A and B are shown apart, each in its own frame.
Chain A
């Protein structure tokens, strides 16, 4: 099984590496966006899938991350690494600030605070026009990568996004499989018991929200770099719902689920939009309702159950 999983992973990575040579601009751009937004969806996996706290304010972090990149490049002449670092630090800082009081709330109340946080960040950004240029946004020219490669080159841009995605994916996977990730899951299951085992649950929840915020901010920063642009729509609350929907469809509680969900729904949106833009919300809504009813564990959960079933059948056949 472990070998099978590794093989599948190698095939997917090989396909992603070869993709620019096998397909055109449209697919390449779409896959790049999927990879960036998959990181955005992983931020939901950290805070909700693992720690059990639902956040509907992730677009706030996404937008803050995007503006951090735009502003540091425009005003401080920052390089790519510095700009991305700024997106991580600024969004994590806001997450810590909000979490310091929000993590004392549970369930729906926590989710409500994250909605309010998202709204405050959105209206602050649209109101502070001198800094953000509101919906007109900020365009900027991207610094060179390693002082020699231009992100305007389609191949450079694609491989840059792919490399960053793989690096961050492995980092998040490592974190979620580590003792810290395991305690996050314990908090999701029964936070009182974690407290009675002697852990500082408040601190751990703040940490989880900070990691999630940093990840969402980083994906926003990546998206700004990818499009050489940031505007206040990046902070819009409707965008906050997207990673939650992708994660539900792909499967909450699995690191692969949010990625599968993001790929499927963004592919659908891009594939359909030119013909059926008006019915897209209806189709996505139907998929989400069907997933919740028929596959509560999402696609990743359904695949896992199916594989376990086949393995059990094979084992009993022996």
Chain B
């Protein structure tokens, strides 16, 4: 589904992503973890066309998407969410999701019939239903709770009918209950599309990911199934520090 080949990106003297080659097969959930500054968000920015590559290549379904404009990449079927919630604050939740659906249905024609607009709005409501905030459809995004805004952010990404969904720290700032809801949602989404997620909550990662990619200083440190990564001492050292116990997290997660 997605493949990066010797991908690199430098900002001045700083190399944010360095010679990174990963493969994400279709239908999997891939977690990207690593300490701050490891290059996780830069990787997402490179995939989605937010920043240009310094060198290397990115293939999506066998086709190079390197240095294509962001909107062209979105049109190929790659959607993303953002570390900081990115919605349209003054628009209703319904309108927020409608925007993506309207793009996919290919019409900005001001003469399109009202029924077409309503049809797309109903599809927006279906997506809101799917993520569990349909009851807030008529509320402006700025009036939603923080957790609901994070979920709306995902609903907006879904509205563009992606085959690959990139989630940037979907549980950041959420409470325990909201995190559980989000975790269940990510699992459900993973059943219908390929998902890559950057996540600091290791319990969430261990619960949802098929495979984990660990980045450190922009380089690939380790890649493998959750159990293997959790047991790796180097990962524990660079990512979690000495006091943290990734195995403990794994145990808690499996009991949950």
- Name A's B-contacting residues (CB within 8 A): 174-175, 178-183, 185-186, 188-190, 192-201, 204, 253
Contact = CB atoms under 8 A, between A and B. Distances in A.
B74 A198 contact: yes
Main secondary structure of the interface of A (DSSP, over half): helix
Given A179-B102, A182-B95, A190-B86, A199 B117 contact: no
Interface string B62-106: 000000001100110001100000111111000100111011100
Nearest to A175: B110
Contacts of B117: 179
B14 interface: no
A242 B108 CA distance: 31
B91 A179 contact: no
B90 A189 contact: yes
23 contacts: A178-B111, A179-B112, A179-B117, A183-B99, A183-B108, A185-B90, A186-B88, A189-B88, A190-B86, A193-B156, A194-B99, A195-B70, A195-B74, A196-B74, A197-B100, A197-B156, A197-B159, A197-B160, A198-B71, A198-B100, A200-B71, A201-B71, A204-B108
Contacts of A183: 99, 102, 108
* Interface-centre pick from A175, A195, A198, A204 (highest chain B CB count, 10 A): A198
B123 to A, nearest CB: 14
Given A175-B110, A179-B117, A180-B110, A197 B88 contact: no
A190 B91 CA distance: 11
A195 B78 CA distance: 12
3 smallest CB-CB distances across A and B, nearest first, come from A178-B110, A198-B74, A189-B88
A194 to B, nearest CB: 7
Nearest to B116: A179
A47 to B, nearest CB: 16
A185 B96 CA distance: 11
A48 to B, nearest CB: 14
A202 B80 CA distance: 20
A189 B89 contact: yes
B74 A197 contact: yes
Nearest to A193: B86
A198 B110 contact: no
A198 B75 contact: yes
Nearest to A187: B88
A312 to B, nearest CB: 14
B70 A179 contact: no
B232 interface: no
Contact of A199 (B86, B103, B111): B103
B107 interface: yes
Contacts of B110: 174-175, 178-181
A185 B91 contact: yes
A185 B3 CA distance: 36
Nearest to A184: B108
A114 B6 CA distance: 44
B109 interface: yes
B48 interface: yes
B103 A198 contact: yes
Contacts of A253: 90
Interface in B42-70: 48, 70
Nearest to A192: B86
Nearest to B74: A198
A179 B91 CA distance: 13
A201 B103 CA distance: 12
A182 B99 contact: yes
